[in-house]
Structure 1
Amino acid sequence: MSQRDPRAFLWDVQEAAQAIQRFLQGMDAEAYARNEMAQAAVERKFEIIGEALGQLAKTDAALAARIPDLAQIVAFRNQLIHGYATVHVGTVWNVAQSALPPLLARTIALMEELD
């Protein structure tokens, strides 16, 4: 099996991050906490982000190193998948509000640089 282009992982991150932003549009923390479907969708997209960045780290470590907090993002993905019972809705909401926008901006900048 041939190796995926590292840009494909960045594209996956960008698409998933933009989807999270669409899913949360018009919601506040309380509305999100009451919306089980939105929670499931957002968590799934965070899982994709973490997996894509984990794969990027294996494929192109130098490029992956240019993404701030990569290890924490992958750890968050692992917690969502393996520690799902301990994931708090408020934590996911806070990550989406504070950590996602800079990650998306960084991903877009790297993709533009690579193109």
Structure 2
Amino acid sequence: MLPESAAFLWDVRAASVRITTFTEGLTAESYATDELRKSAVERQLEIIGEALNRLRKADPEVAQRIPDISRIIGLRNILAHGYAVINDSVVWSAVAERMPALLTVVENLLNELR
């Protein structure tokens, strides 16, 4: 694993933890009506997607170990460039259903560095 790979993974981990904190106790419905939290979560998803995009370019071997990396990067692109078509239920699904698995994978990769 390249040294910069760890930095990208740390960024993914930090943003994932922030999202978990921001969404604690929310439902899909309460998330959809909370503009402040939606903005915060979307920004952290952009960070995750950008970090993974850079990881994929710098260290494809490590990047291929992250499930759905292309979908995560694609979500980042929608959030950054397609802001008018953001679907709250898609974002919520990513956060509620997929974020825990991503965080586990990233933490395991970081543990390999220790």
After TM superposition, the score normalised by the length of structure 2 is: 0.95
SS across alignment from 2:14 = helix
1:27 aligns with 2:26: yes
Q: How many residues align?
A: 113
Separation of aligned partners in 2, 1:37 and 1:4: 35
Shift of 1:62: 0.4
1:107 aligns with 2:99: no
Separation of aligned partners in 1, 2:72 and 2:79: 11
Separation of aligned partners in 1, 2:73 and 2:3: 19
Separation of aligned partners in 1, 2:71 and 2:100: 15
Separation of aligned partners in 2, 1:75 and 1:102: 18
Q: Percent identity?
A: 44
CA RMSD of aligned residues (A): 1.2
Unmatched 5+ stretches in structure 1:
none
Bigger CA drift: 35-44 or 87-96? 87-96
Shift of 1:69: 0.7
Shift of 1:5: 1.6
Unmatched 5+ stretches in structure 2:
none
4+ runs of 1 displaced by more than 4 Å?
Answer: none
Shift of 1:4: 6.1
After TM superposition, the score normalised by the length of structure 1 is: 0.94
